[in-house]
Structure formats: structure tokens, C-alpha cells
Structure 1
Amino acid sequence: MGRFYSDTLEEGVRLIYFQADPALFPQGVKLVEQAVVAGEPDAYYYLARCYAWEDGNVEGDERKAKELYKKGIALGSDLCVLGADRMGALNEEMKAVMVRSLRESYDAVLKMAEAGDPMAQYTVGLFYFWGDMLFRFQKPSKEEFDRCEKENAQVALKWFCRSAEQGCIPAFRNAFNGMRGGINSIPKDPKEALRWAESVKDKVDMRDYYYSMVVEYQRLKDYGNANRWCRVGMEVGDSSCIVSLGLVYLEGDKGLPMDEKEALRLFGLAAENGNEYGYYNMGRCYYNGWGCAQDYRQAVEYFKKARDLGHTTADMFLSRCYYYGRGVQQDQLTAFRLAKALRDKEQDYPREILGLCYLNGIGTMPDYALARSLFEQAGTGYYASCIGLGDIYSKGLGVEEDIQKAVSYYENAASRGNAEASERMKQFKKTIFGKWKRR
């Protein structure tokens, strides 16, 4: 990083900003605290950042951050001046203890950046990226604002890239996300973001961004590189990458052949790491018999573990399991509650199960119109939708009775081997004129 700080502070900064193992963050924070106790002015900037932005996984505390910035400013830290300004805390009280003006402090930090300090480079990048340069110094006219903003975005990107090339992770984050998403007037260019990220992959600890690389390559349908980064992530136990590769094998349409057993193995690895998506997809495999014998009891166990970790989509399958008694004691009231809770939260939910509940008055008063709407939304790919719609038209529940339409729905499900639909079909017979009627 260069000799801008004491050995203690430099090592602390390295552990917080230049490596991605959270287990080492506390050691980095402790070293920064030691530099603060020793009275090193710029140490106050880094410790204040920890409290202001939760760097190093420190619990945020705005009051502490402001106190640290103020003390660092009084000791002559130019980084603290820019840090307080970025936080919106550079009030009159702060200005009263400033040794230099904001412009002079910026120039001092810029000189550090030009001399090669990556954290100063990152800080200068932030000054341009978030508009401090625009609103504090440039103050362009309305006619010049857009041009100036775009030019500043390029300057910010330049400094972020220079900092990242020396291993600064937050600088990499801002450069990569800025290019891939077009943030703050940086031109959106996912291909350039990936090209640049590939160019610095040996210089910066990118382990928190392996999955982002996967996602961007998948969006571009560059599945070879997407799968390559999945395997890079697997090497460090990145569960998101492991699950993503598992989905590729499960679907068999993204650069690799379908292999349900390999997908199951990969989901299991992610589940062993406590990953909610690993548990959820293990549940899906056992529920459907993908790569294994169908086992509803096992599926329910995995779905419950996924739900306990916050994966609400698991409740879709649990609702179906409770409704039909698959792998768990049948409890249609619980099935209704799970499905309705998902719907109330505007999350994806099992429409066919909720439709059956509204059709049959399970946990609620019957609502035939809503039931029909839910079945139609779910689609006839679900047996339950076919049977529910068949019952509605067969019995004239909220609609005019239509035996022909009812039978067409039952036939749809029966033709795919559904026994319940086949039983419904026994209620009807064809006339010599080809019309369906009740027996």
C-alpha cells in the first residue's frame, strides 16, 4: 500500500479492506483501534468508517463515527475531513476544528492517491462517484450538469480501477458494480465489467464476487465462463456457486449435460454448508424424484430446514405436502395458512392449493370466483387445477353448469395418469351424439 501509515495501521487496513475472510476482520479492527490509541490521525478515519459503514463487520454506530471523525480532523487527518463530508457530518462544529479547508484536504488526499496509496485512490473515487466534487467544488450550471456528472463518473471509475488493481476490495466493488449496472452515470457495460474483472482477478480477493461473475456471464449466455466461475467458487466453498452449478446440471441446458445425480450431490454440498438454497433444492429433488427415489418425508425435512433459514419459497412445497399428506400428517388447514401467508406477502404461492381451499371452504368461507381465478392462474399443468375447474363447471359453482367443459378438464388430468380425475370421469358418459352427460 505504500508507506503512508504506521505498520500497525497498515496491517489493520489490509485485513479489513484487502482480504475477504470475515474471520480476520476483528484482528484488523483491533489493530486500527491500537493505532487510534497511539494517536495516529488517519487511524481515526478507518475506525470511523467501520462505525459509519459497518466496514470490518463492525456494528454501525453513527455517534461514534462522528466523534472519531471530529477527533481525527482536529489532529489534522485530511482523510477524516473527506470521510465526514461523505457521511454528511461536516457541520459547523466539525469545521471549527479543521486544520485545513475542505479543498485543501481534498488536494492532500489527491496527492496521496497520485503517490500510489490505494485507500486514498478509493477515497478520491468516492468524492467523484457520490457527487461531492460536483456539489462542493464544481457547482455546474443546469446546462452543464449532465456533462459534468458523466465526466466525474469516468474520473471516479479511473480511481476505483487504480485502487482495485492494488487489491482494494471496496474499490473493486464500486468499479465492477458501476460498470455492470450503470450506477451513478457510469455507462452500463456488463461485458466490459467482466473483461476488467478478469484482468484483476489475480490482484484482488474476489471471493465475494464469484457468484456475481456467474450471474453476469449467465445473463450474457456465456455458459462456459459462467460454469468456470461456478467451479472457482466451489474451490472456496461458495454455496451460491455450488447451487448454481447444481441447477445447470438439473436443467441440462447451460453448457453441461443433464445429470440429476450430480445436481443432487452439489445441492447436498451446499446444504452441508448450511445454505438455504441447498436445502430447498434438495427438497425439490426428493419431492420430484430427481436423481434419487421420490421421498416426501425427506423432502419435507429439507423444506423445513430451508424455511428455518429464511427461504420462504419452501412454504410453497410444504403447503402442498400438508394438503395431500405427503411426507407429513395431512393438515389442510396448515396448508391453507402457509399458502395464504405467502399470497399476503406478495410472494410466489401455490395457487392450485389455495384454489382448492377456497373451493372447499378449508380455513375460510368458500369463494368460487376466487377459486376459479386461482386455478386458471396456476394453469392446467397442475392436476389440482384440472380437478378444481372440473368440479366448478360440473356443479355450476359460481358459473353456469357446463358438463362438456368439466369433462375436458378431468380428461386433461386423467390422460396424464391422475387417479382422482379418472374417478371423476366415471360420473359421466358419452351419448351417441358425442355429448357428455351424467350417468
Structure 2
Amino acid sequence: MQSGQPEIADNPRAYVRWVMHAAQLGDVDAQATLAQLLLDGRGVQKDATLALSWFRIAARQRHPMAINMVGRCLENGWGCAIDLADAAQHYRQAADLGLDWGLYNYGQLLSRGRGVGQDLVAAYEQFRLAAAKGHAKSMNLLGRFHHEGVVVPQDVPLARQWYLRAAEAGDFRGQYNHAAELAQAGDEQQACMWLERALKTATPGFLEAAYPVLLASASSAIREMGLRYQQQSDPQ
């Protein structure tokens, strides 16, 4: 999009009007942005069906993120029926264009055999390519592959390096895994620091699974942290 547009934080509705005008004039970045605003309901009424339509318009112009987001809509049933096979095709197109999120999302389907035949070797390669582009979630997954010795030789020191890189790049799962490795090595202070970061941004589902592990920790500081965050998340 061109410079000079209003900022969404200053005036969301004016921003949406500006983006919509640019999208209607054929600006592909504006089309992808408008689609995301519609999907999220930011500055405009949420409309997943219309969002998907705009993603498709931008995707036809080979906009990598728009192609990826068509895949996300198809995978999750946002504005359409779930179609995992079609989602996989879109992720692969975005991956072929070099988009880190396309590589990651296609790798996820490959690793689980969803919409495409399971292929852990190919999944690892997608994550490796995405990680080389700085994709934090892919870095964490490479750590898991090396930690567990899946399709690559088990290499715990290398896994720890990937967890650290993912943690530093802001992935809460990487931060959690890095904290677990530090705790195992006896560095309780650093473990708690990284664990605190992870718990602040983790998803509810992840937290629900993590709390029993934290509360069973040999470290009193980690147990106390787990209890504190569990109480904060308890609506009662």
C-alpha cells in the first residue's frame, strides 16, 4: 500500500475506509489487509466469508500471505466448509513462494497427515526452511525433532540450541521448552525467567496442559509460579 494512510490505532474506521478504497482500486497488499481486518473484526464488522473472498482475490495475484490465509480459512472453516486437502494445496503454494508461514503450515499438515499423506521427512524440511527465515515456531519444532530423534539422529545439545533460538524469537513453546532444559540443568533462576515469559503469552489450551507439570516440579519456585498463574486463570 502507499504511504500516508491513516493508522488503525488512531482511527480504525478511517483506516478501514482507506484500505477498502485501495483494495477496490486493485492494490493487492490492501486486498490482503482488508481481508485480515474482516477476519479479525478490527475497525469493521467481522465477516469471515467476505474476508475469504478478499483473500482469494489477492491470492489470484500470487500474494503469498493471502494464499496462506486462504489455506487457514479452509483448514479452520472460516467463512467456508473445512477442506484440508485444498488447505494443503494453498499452504504448499505459499511455501513454494518462500513464505515462512506457508512453510510452517504445510509442514504441520505433513507432520500430522491432515489433508495430505503424512511425511515427517518433508515436514522437517519445511520447518527447516521456515526456521532459516527466522520463523520462531518452526525453530521450536526443529528442537523437538532433534530432541526426540524423529527422522534425524537424536541430538539433545542441538535441540537445546533450537529451543533457545525459538525462545529468543518470542515463541512461548520455545520459551517453555528452553525453561524446562534450564531447570533440568539446575539453573532455576533462568528457568523461571523464561517460564514467566512463556506463561504470559501461552494459549489457554497450552496452559491447561502445563499447569500439572509445573505443580509437580521439583523446584519450589516453579511450583509457586505454576500455582500463581493457575489461580490467575481460574475465573473463580
Give me the TM-score of the superposition, normalised by structure 2.
Answer: 0.74
Residue 379 of structure 1: SS of its match in structure 2? helix
Contact 2:22 2:30 survives alignment (8 Å): no
Q: Report the AA paired with residue 262 of structure 1.
A: D
1:212 equivalent in structure 2? 33
Query: Is 2:29–2:58's contact at 8 Å kept on the other side of the alignment?
Result: no
Contact 2:104 2:130 in 1 (8 A): yes
Match of 2:158? 334
Aligned-partner SS, 1:189 = helix
Does the 8 Å contact 2:64/2:97 carry over to 1? yes
Decide whether the 8 Å contact of 2:20 with 2:30 is kept in 1.
no
Q: 2:8 aligns with which of 181, 195, 205?
A: 181
* Contact preservation (8 Å) 2:67, 2:93: yes
Matched, 1:379 2:190: no
Secondary structure at the counterpart of residue 209 of structure 2? coil
If you compute each CA radius of gyration, which structure gives the higher value, 1 or 2? 1
2:75 to 250, 257, 278: 250
Taking the aligned partners of 1:388 and 1:329, their CA distance within structure 2 comes to 29
Which one of 307, 327, 336 corresponds to residue 131 of structure 2?
307
* Partner residue, 1:10: none
Could you tell me which residue of structure 2 aligns to residue 264 of structure 1? 88
1:12-31 correspondence to structure 2 within 5 Å: none
Gaps of 5+ in 2: 200-205, 224-236
Report matched runs for 1:32-431 at 5 Å.
170=2, 173-174=3-4, 177-178=5-6, 181=8, 188-197=13-22, 201=24, 204-220=25-41, 221-252=46-77, 254-361=78-185, 365-367=186-188, 370=191, 374=195, 377=199, 379-381=207-209, 390=216, 392=217, 397-399=218-220
Following superposition, the deviation at residue 246 of structure 1 comes to 0.4
- Shift of the 371–296 alpha-carbon distance from structure 1 to 2, 3 Å rule, reads farther
Q: Secondary structure at the match of 2:136?
A: coil
Residues 127-156 of structure 1: CA distance to partner in whole angstroms, max 9, x if unpaired? xxxxxxxxxxxxxxxxxxxxxxxxxxxxxx
Cα deviations by residue, 1:240-290 (Å, 9 ceiling, x for unpaired): 1110010111112x2112222211111011112222221111111122332
Offset of 1:190 from its aligned partner? 4.3
Shift of residue 309, structure 1, vs aligned partner:
2.5
What letter corresponds to residue 215 of structure 1 in structure 2?
A: Q
* Cα shift readout 1:331-390 (whole Å, capped 9, x = no counterpart): 1112212222333344544244224313432xxx453993798399353436xx756754
Name the Cα RMSD after superposition.
Answer: 3.3
Alignment check: 8 A CA contact 1:359 1:388 kept: no
8 Å contact from structure 2 (residues 58, 66) kept in 1 = yes
Q: Give, in whole Å, the separation in 2 of the partners of 1:386 and 1:182.
A: 39
**Offset from partner CA, 1:17-48 (integer Å, 9 cap, x none):** xxxxxxxxxxxxxxxxxxxxxxxxxxxxxxxx
Q: Aligned equivalents of 2:68 and 2:13: distance in 1?
A: 28
C-alpha change, 1:195 and 1:277, in structure 2 (3 Å) is closer
Alpha-carbon distance between aligned partners in 2 of 1:312 and 1:369, rounded to the nearest angstrom: 20
Q: What letter is aligned with 2:113?
A: G
What one-letter code is carried by the residue in structure 2 that aligns with 1:329?
P
One-letter amino acid of the counterpart of residue 209, structure 1:
A
Query: Could you say if the C-alpha distance between residues 346 and 228 of structure 1 is closer, same or farther in structure 2, counting changes exceeding 3 Å?
Result: closer
> Deviations for 1:148-189, whole angstroms, at most 9, x for unmatched residues?
xxxxxxxxxxxxxxxxxxxxx73xx53xx31x6266xx7743
Distance 2:194 2:56 in 1: 44
Distance 1:355 1:389, change over 3 A: farther
Give the count of matched residue pairs. 211
Asked if the contact 1:303–1:314 (Cα under 8 Å) also holds between the matched residues in 2, the reply is: yes
Q: Measure, in 2, the Cα distance between the counterparts of 1:345 and 1:207.
A: 29
Q: Deviations over 1:93-121 (max 9, x none)?
A: xxxxxxxxxxxxxxxxxxxxxxxxxxxxx
Give the counterpart letter for 1:246 in structure 2: G
For the 8 Å contact 1:369–1:398, the answer to whether it is kept is: no
